[in-house]
Structure 1
Amino acid sequence: MSQERSAVVPQLHWSICVPDGCTAEDVEAHLNSSVRTQLFTVKEDQCQTNESQPKLNSGDWATILTPPYAALIVLYITLFMKLGSGPIWESSNQHMQDTCKEYWWSSLLYIQNLVNANRFCAGQSWYLFVDMQLYILSPLILIPIGKWPKITPYVFGILIIIFTIIPTIVAWHYEIPVLISNSEIPDWNKIYYAQVHTRAGPWIIGLALGYILFQTKHKNVRINKIIVTLMWLLTAVVMSYIIFGTYPELRDDFQYSRLFSSIYVGLHRNIWTLGICWIVFACIHGYGGPVNWFLSLSVFQFFAKITYALYLLSETFQNYDRGIVRVPVIFRDYNVLQSFFSTTCFCSLLSIIWVLSFESPFAVIDGVIIKAGE
């Protein structure tokens, strides 16, 4: 007489790591398509977020961003003028050392565009000042839209309109042309180039994109293919015009138009930012095609790690390169390309050293402090 037996199968507990943008439905669909012999069901409450990574607040970002910038200021004050020579070396670079010695404090406090706008220690640092000030002001936008989500479209819409009109009015009042250098208009940084009220438009548009991406990160966004195609064509045309549309101003017979210049100055940065926003949104939600493939290449991961140091050092290297010139420079397309690629390669090497010396160590220290505090 045979005795019936039942098999005892132990319960299996397992986990899978997925990006934050994936939902429970995404994981379930992937598992069922990969393992066809078993039906998987994944519930939303079974997805847990890994909180082991330290989260950085505004003070932590300042701690990480400030040391590389402070090291650049120290370089200008101490060694930079001893690193080169030439007929125009001092006239090209001495002012940076003098300005850093006198106004280092306002640079490190990120307020130099407010108190010493026309004497920057490092010309490229205007972006740090404006970005930090906007970051500090961001709760004035984020808190209301977090408390009253229905007002979000109106808040962003009104702010974008306001900060499009302001630079347009400034450009009209000071008769700012489309193509301009710092020497053509007195107090250039103070009245336009390095001020929050003339630079806030692109930042607010980027903040709005961040809000949209946050609201849609767990949603399957479906857009008609015709609309997607039109958006890509419109983006390509508009961004190309912003780059090449100013070519007529380079001609000797060009006549200045106050209306055109004011509209262009007021709109072109916001429109360019909208184009960037479409590229980001399309790539994230699966409408990027070859653009998404190109931007996802691993080589950009390397540049992403050194991008801040590259930003700090590129103008410094260009100032050095210009200051050591001993013979007249003949303008040729080849010379421009050679200068571009040599500057990019050399600055990339310097940026690696800068990151390892002044950025990564402080990021690690800050992470340890945050972990210890938790």
Structure 2
Amino acid sequence: MSSALVAVSNPQTVEKSITSFTSVALISHLILFQTFFVISFFLTTINFYSHLRRAHYVTLEDVLRKIVKRYIRFTSAQVILIALQSRWFVHLSRGLFWEQVMGSEARLCSEMWWTNLLYINNFFFDHGLCLLHTWSLSADFQLTVIGLLILWWTQKNSKRLFLVSGGLLLVQVTWTFFYLGWNNFEFGTLYTPESLYGFTFLFRKEWQATWTTTVSNLAGLAWGLLFGYIYSHRQNNTFITKKSDHIWWYAIVLISTFGTIFFSGYYKTSDYYSSSRWFAASYGSIEKVVCVFGISLFIFGTLQGLGGFVRNVLEWAPMHTLGTLSFGAYLVHFVFLNIDNALKRNPSYFSPYLITSEIFKNVVMSNFCSVILTAFVLMPMENLTNKFL
């Protein structure tokens, strides 16, 4: 998407991309971003019940302490990034697109920084966002507060946890269905060239309703709480033992995750595409819930010893280091996307080679900067908070 942020010399290719199954299916893979929410709340639940087993009761003060730790972890690095984005990065260079990209980012961070630090910027898209990608941190923080309060309230009655988690799923499905249907929005979000240019699709109400709001991400919280509870209380039990169970596990995971993605890509590019408001509302309301269930089931299955080669890769020692760097890399990666586009002197030739090379550069630079950010900011702050909180 970032490759189409500024001018391209072959706009026909971008125009045709929305009719390509491969392109639309690749963009639809954005839904796998929900993996981060699932892991976050899965681990939060496991840590909560681990604390509960030691202390026999988790007080509201303990919950507030965990929330403060989360806030400090998210904020410590973000403050530095906001300061650099609003005052320093804009003076690094100049060029045809520099003011258009970096200048606008600097102005937004100077005006809207407070929404980042209060973690409410996912509700302020119409006013413009400082560090556009940090809407997910706001959603994560909001859901963390809700999740910890739910765990605290249900710690002595597990039935409440299952009822509340089911209620969260019902709220997301119902709210999304009626919101999309009432406003007659299209089937999902169509990433047209007009919407990709300048990331203007971010300001569309259907995208915000199905992506950035707290309600639209309740599935990650609900499934994370449920599977985290099951793992915490039954981690010594093996549920998936028979060969037939293994087959069913693989089938359900693949169908519920990649199946929903490929269906989206196929339907949006087929001759059967329909803009029926109620079909769009139905799909938009259940797609994320089904996909997140598949992600949660995959994580739970790997802890049961399934996954084969994929599990071996995830347990590979270097992946631990990359996991430590992942948060810092996520924080800075969008800055490098903007800088790369802002430095362009001529329109780009949109091609798979361009996309691949930009991804490679971004991954390398983001992880390199994350080493510095993690070593000098994130890890010291985490040690300090653990010591004093």
Compute the TM-score of the two structures, normalised by the length of structure 2. Answer: 0.74
* Structure 1 residue 252, shift from structure 2 partner: 9.1
Which residue number corresponds to residue 289 of structure 2?
Answer: 270
Q: Which residue of structure 1 lines up, in the alignment, with residue 250 of structure 2?
A: 232
Residue 346 of structure 2, aligned match among 291, 314, 327: 327
Query: Is 1:77–1:97's contact at 8 Å kept on the other side of the alignment?
Result: yes
Cα–Cα, structure 1 residues 340 and 244, in superposed 2: closer, same or farther, change >3 Å? Answer: farther
Q: Indicate the RMSD between aligned Cα atoms, in angstroms.
A: 2.7
Q: Which protein is bigger by CA-based radius of gyration? A: 1
Contact 1:189 1:195 in 2 (8 A): no
The 8 Å contact of residues 309 and 355 in structure 1, kept in 2 or not, is answered as yes
Structure 2 equivalent of residue 6 of structure 1: none
Please give the per-residue CA displacement for 1:307-339, whole angstroms capped at 9, x wherever unaligned: 111111111111111111112212222222222
Matched residue, 1:35: none
Taking a change above 3 Å as real, the CA distance of residues 81 and 169 of structure 1, as seen in their structure-2 partners, is same
Task: Tell me the distance in 2 between the aligned counterparts of 1:364 and 1:138.
Answer: 24
Q: Match of 1:60, as an amino acid?
A: K
**Cα gap change, 1:245 to 1:284, in 2 (>3 Å):** same
Quickly say closer, same or farther: Cα 1:220–1:237, change in 2 above 3 A.
closer
2:223 corresponds in structure 1 to 205
**Aligned-pair CA distance for 1:229:** 0.8
Q: How does 1:348-367 map to 2 (within 5 A)?
A: 348-367=367-386
Match of 2:239, as an amino acid?
Answer: V
**1:117/1:190 contact within 8 Å kept:** no
Counterpart of 1:195?
213
1:171 to 180, 200, 221: 180
Q: Report the number of matched residues.
A: 319
- Using a 3 Å threshold, how does the CA distance of structure 1 residues 84 and 264 change in structure 2: closer, same or farther? farther
Pairing partner for 2:261 from 243, 251, 263:
243
TM-aligned CA distance change 1:140 to 1:94, over 3 Å: same
The answer to whether the aligner puts 1:97 opposite 2:106 as a matched pair is yes
* Whole-Å separation in 2 of the counterparts to 1:356 and 1:139: 28
More contact order relative to length (CA 8 Å, sep ≥ 6): 2
Is residue 302 of structure 1 aligned with residue 321 of structure 2?
yes
* Aligned match of 1:86: 95
Change in Cα spacing, 1:147 to 1:278, as seen in structure 2 (3 Å) is same
- Tell whether the 8 Å contact from 1:73 to 1:100 is kept in structure 2 after alignment: yes
Query: Structure 1 residue 71: deviation in Å?
Result: 0.8
Separation in structure 2 between the aligned mates of residue 356 and residue 67 of structure 1, nearest angstrom:
13
State whether residues 167 and 198 of structure 1, in contact with CA within 8 Å, keep that contact through their aligned partners in structure 2: yes
User: Hey, what does 1:41 align to over in structure 2?
Assistant: none
Q: Give the structure with the larger helix fraction.
A: 2
Aligned to 1:16: none
**How far apart, in 1, do the equivalents of 2:120 and 2:91 lie?**
29
The answer on 1:183 being equivalent to 2:192 is no
Task: String of CA shifts for 1:323-366, please: whole Å, max 9, x gaps.
Answer: 11112212222222222122111211111112123212212222
Q: C-alpha displacement at 1:234, in angstroms? A: 2.6
Aligned to 2:303: 284
Task: Give the Å deviation of 1:201.
Answer: 1.9
Offset of residue 173 of structure 1: 2.7
Match of 2:236 in 1: 218
- Return the alpha-carbon distance in structure 1 between the equivalents of residues 152 and 388 of structure 2: 28
What is the distance in 2 between the residues matched to 1:81 and 1:324?
Answer: 12
Percent identity of the aligned residues?
21
